[in-house]
């Protein structure tokens, strides 16, 4: 008889919800987590809560409020002289939020009777898990079902090796004790833009070096062009088509060499952040005879229900195919727990939102216009600018727009893209509409509160049929 009904390897945003739901459904559940947090104490929450989603948003929020006070208060009639930012206090607030939330997971485990052990889990044959504690001691436990949720780690590049001093990864960039005068960022993707924005707002000169020659190439390109224009206006120096070929550190600075269409260039920075992407974390995770296999990208191979080739063994979150998003991992973890308990659950991978928490925020769900065009499907588009929104004007936040792409014939929503204030919240209207296979007309016929930012979504839906109320319609073709 197995020791547990379910063992979850990993206590991040994919693992801990899977453990909680398994326990809620009556399964004897163990979660194994190796993370060591501040003060060298074991911590739950994984990358997301400890050095990812949550701490970065805390810094983004503080730095955004600082810019509002120093650059925009006067525009709305508020005089605020001599406002300064206390970077150590900003970091301390971030750490306090992390401590509260990671401790909260521990409390949730106790409330739901989830057992957890600090240490590294390794899957052996026959659904046996070897746990290596931080003191080096090993023990083995068995389960009827194992859920692997080990997440991902930053990709290292040989031309700029992280030393956690002058050259840091995303975790190190959350703990600067002051704003670097000159900050370099390798990678102008989601993480690079967010971290670059934080330190630009509090005083750094920020240069982002991006190898791809198209900005935010995975985004809808109308949205990406608008974002590029606005970020350049904010003072972010974004260099596209620039491939880093080397770096050299001195006592206090790091010099980066990169090549672009104009040749080779050197730039010197006080700090350098490397954020060129993440890879699945599978080091010392799978015994050779455990039966679980990896795909060509190093992810654990699973089917659409996150089952591996071994009956009773599943994998979820960043360690499997698909976008590396905390909320995607959470839904997969819950799906697996439900299915183990005999319920029927699924994840709709066509309705997973993507969000960049810059200012303005960028959010999207579904297909980009480029993807729809490439598919050959007939489509129509409605766009409404926040500059025409009364609530956006009142909030002094009029950059960006809401965009809806719908099928020309069925009117079904194929994608929604928003760049603007609170896009991370507004995009959920598109997610819900797509989850219910809604049409642009469904949103157009819905009564939206006034005045709200959500009215931009309503007007974009009306614009799909070229009948917006608060904007002149496009000329007839």
All residues at 6 or more sequence positions from 121 whose CB lies less than 8 Å from its CB, including other chains:
7, 9, 10, 32, 34, 129, 130, 131, 150, 285
Six-digit token pair at 437? 């296979």
Whether residue 5 contacts residue 28, with contact meaning beta carbons closer than 8 Å, is answered with yes
Q: Which of 327, 450, 458, 470 is catalytic?
A: 450
Q: Which of 282, 255, 260 is nearest to 270 (CA)?
A: 255
The verdict on whether 343 is a catalytic residue reads: no
Six-digit token pair at 44? 């739950």
Whether residue 97 contacts residue 61, with contact meaning beta carbons closer than 8 Å, is answered with no
Whether residue 367 contacts residue 228, with contact meaning beta carbons closer than 8 Å, is answered with no
Six-digit token pair at 117? 């052990």
- Preceding peptide of 360 cis, ω within 30°: yes
Six-digit token pair at 294? 């990896």
Return d(Cα 199, Cα 409) in angstroms, integer.
47
Task: Decide the pairing of beta strands 182-186 and 271-274.
Answer: parallel
Beta-bridge partners for 184: 207, 272
Return d(Cα 466, Cα 403) in angstroms, integer.
13
In which residue are the tokens 């750490």 written? Answer: 95
Catalytic residues: 450
């Amino acid at each position: 008889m197995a020791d547990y009904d379910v063992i979850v390897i990993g206590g991040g945003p994919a693992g801990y919800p899977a453990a909680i739901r398994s326990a809620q459904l009556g399964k004897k559940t163990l979660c194994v987590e190796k993370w060591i947090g501040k003060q060298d104490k074991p911590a739950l929450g994984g990358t997301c809560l400890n050095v990812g989603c949550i701490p970065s948003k805390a810094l983004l929020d503080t730095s955004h409020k600082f810019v509002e006070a120093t650059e925009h208060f006067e525009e709305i009639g508020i005089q605020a002289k001599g406002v300064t930012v206390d970077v150590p206090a900003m970091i301390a607030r971030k750490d306090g939020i992390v401590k509260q939330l990671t401790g909260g997971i521990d409390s949730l485990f106790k409330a739901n009777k989830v057992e957890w052990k600090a240490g590294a889990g390794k899957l052996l044959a026959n659904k046996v898990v070897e746990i290596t504690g931080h003191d080096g001691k090993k023990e083995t436990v068995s389960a009827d079902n194992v859920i692997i949720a080990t997440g991902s780690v930053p990709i290292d590049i040989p031309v700029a090796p992280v030393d956690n001093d002058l050259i840091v990864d995303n975790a190190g960039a959350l703990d600067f004790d002051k704003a670097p005068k000159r900050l370099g960022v390798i990678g102008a993707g989601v993480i690079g833009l967010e971290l670059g924005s934080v330190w630009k707002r509090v005083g750094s000169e920020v240069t982002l070096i991006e190898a791809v020659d198209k900005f935010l190439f995975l985004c809808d390109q109308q949205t990406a062009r608008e974002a590029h224009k606005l970020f350049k206006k904010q003072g972010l120096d974004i260099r596209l088509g620039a491939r880093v070929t080397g770096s050299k550190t001195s006592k206090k600075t790091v010099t980066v060499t990169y090549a672009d269409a104009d040749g080779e260039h050197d730039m010197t920075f006080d700090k350098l952040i490397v954020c060129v992407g993440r890879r699945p974390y599978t080091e010392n995770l799978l015994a050779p005879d455990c039966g679980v296999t990896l795909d060509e990208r190093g992810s654990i191979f699973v089917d659409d229900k996150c089952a591996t080739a071994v009956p009773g063994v599943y994998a979820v979150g960043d360690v499997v195919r698909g976008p590396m998003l905390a909320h995607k991992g959470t839904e997969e973890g819950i799906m697996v727990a439900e299915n183990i308990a005999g319920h029927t659950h699924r994840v709709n991978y066509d309705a997973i939102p993507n969000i960049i928490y810059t200012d303005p925020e960028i959010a999207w769900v579904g297909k980009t216009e480029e993807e729809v065009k490439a598919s050959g499907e007939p489509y129509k588009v409605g766009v409404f600018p926040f500059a025409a929104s009364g609530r956006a004007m009142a909030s002094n936040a009029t950059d960006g727009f809401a965009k809806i792409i719908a099928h020309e014939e069925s009117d079904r929503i194929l994608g929604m893209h928003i760049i603007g204030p609170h896009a991370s919240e507004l995009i959920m209207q598109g997610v819900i509409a797509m989850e219910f296979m809604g049409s642009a007309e469904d949103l157009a016929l819905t009564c939206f509160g006034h005045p709200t930012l959500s009215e931009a979504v309503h007007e974009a839906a009306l614009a799909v049929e070229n009948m917006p109320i608060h904007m002149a319609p496009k000329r007839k073709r």
